[in-house]
Amino acid sequence: MTVTITDVSAILTQPGPSRLVIVKVRTSEPGLYGLGCATFTQRVHAVEAAIEQHLKPFLIGRDVDRIEELWQMSMVHGYWRNGPVLNNAISGVDQALWDIKGKRAGMPVYQLLGGKSREAASVYVHASGRDPHEVEDSARTLIEEGYRNVRIQMGGYGGEAANLHRPKDAPEGNYFDPRAYSRSMLGMIEHVRTELDPAIELLHDIHERLNPIDAVQFAKDVEQYRLFFLEDMFAPEDIGWFRTVRQQCATPLAMGELFNNPHEWRGLIVDQLIDFVRMHVSQVGGITPARNIAIFAGTFGVRTAWHGPGDTSPVGHAANLHLDLWAPNFGIQEWYQPSELEYEMFPGLPTISDGYLYPNERPGLGIEIDEELAAQHPCEDIIEQWTQTRRPDGSSARP
């Protein structure tokens, strides 16, 4: 008997700094439902509306087994496509349908993708501080906890900006100085690399904060420190610069956090201009397109490193892990160290041990949500500050 979709709902909650969107797809089989991640933390209400007002009426009554068809039809049903709001909404449904299929099969989702290529996923975590010594101390604490891959940042994205020489009456905002950032970060990376065991892998995220030519220089200057990878050195609008970097140095490059259109990653993969794809899985539309991206990237020797900070929900982290366990070209997984509240709110959230992320082997994605607890932590309606970035003269900049 065909099992159909009977309801689609968005669950908004905020157990930590980031606002999360979880999709719940209910079915005609009693007790059978699936969960997915649709988290676009800066636009949660837009995603909620896309789910509740557009996807829900379109999907009710349809066969839960036809995941590929539903993804394709959902993507084109709104005519305009490949935008972050729609992609995240579709992702929530897509992941929930994979969750349902795994539950019906009695298998974890990684088995449906093709089975394990590894027992656990190696992760990297974030070390930070106000100066190089604090970053070193932060990294050492993480290493003592068993992590072997550490992303090092200082003073937040763009670095500290307290001493900027601003124009009179400059507007408020999250200020940074790109040139000062380059100087201070190179000094920090040199310090940490010198002080830590060479076996510890270091990563750094430019977060598109530099002018393209300055980013090229930074990639050349940091080459000597042998990073595991340098992340998001250009904005999606500037990806043509990757060819220039490849001609200049051998610093490994990761890119894709802001990507939502296939044209943004296809050329970079085909021309082998990056080493890691690190898209936000819900941003590209869920497990279905992420699986295809991983296969495509593997053909050209490019590895996966899916986006995984706190603005990926626990359900999204579970989906990432299933992709990681399966993909033969898995590289590394970003990890955010969930709070006790998140583990309580999301039973089945993957666990970490000695720097590796392990699944729980339950059917589907293996994760649930305590909806009563989630309702006790509603999303805060705020105006984001960190995305209101400015250069020293007060002009707007990409965050």
Q: Which residues are tagged catalytic?
A: 157, 207
Q: In the chain, what is the greatest distance between 2 CA atoms, to the nearest angstrom?
A: 71
> What is the distance between the alpha carbons of residues 58 and 380, in angstroms, rounded to a whole number?
29
> What is the distance between the alpha carbons of residues 206 and 396, in angstroms, rounded to a whole number?
17
Query: Closest by alpha carbon to 273, among 311, 237, 300?
Result: 300
DSSP code per residue over 112-164:
HHT--SSSSEEEEEEE--SSHHHHHHHHHHHHHTT--EEEE-SSSTT---TT-
Query: Closest by alpha carbon to 143, among 210, 102, 199, 181?
Result: 199
> What is the distance between the alpha carbons of residues 13 and 22, in angstroms, rounded to a whole number?
8
> What is the distance between the alpha carbons of residues 120 and 99, in angstroms, rounded to a whole number?
19
In one letter, which amino acid is 186?
Answer: L
* Distances in whole angstroms, Cα of residue 247 to Cα of each of 39, 336, 394: 37, 34, 34
* Distances in whole angstroms, Cα of residue 318 to Cα of each of 1, 90, 128, 275, 312: 29, 17, 25, 24, 10
- The total number of residues written for the chain in this structure: 399
* Distances in whole angstroms, Cα of residue 2 to Cα of each of 27, 31, 63, 91: 10, 15, 6, 23
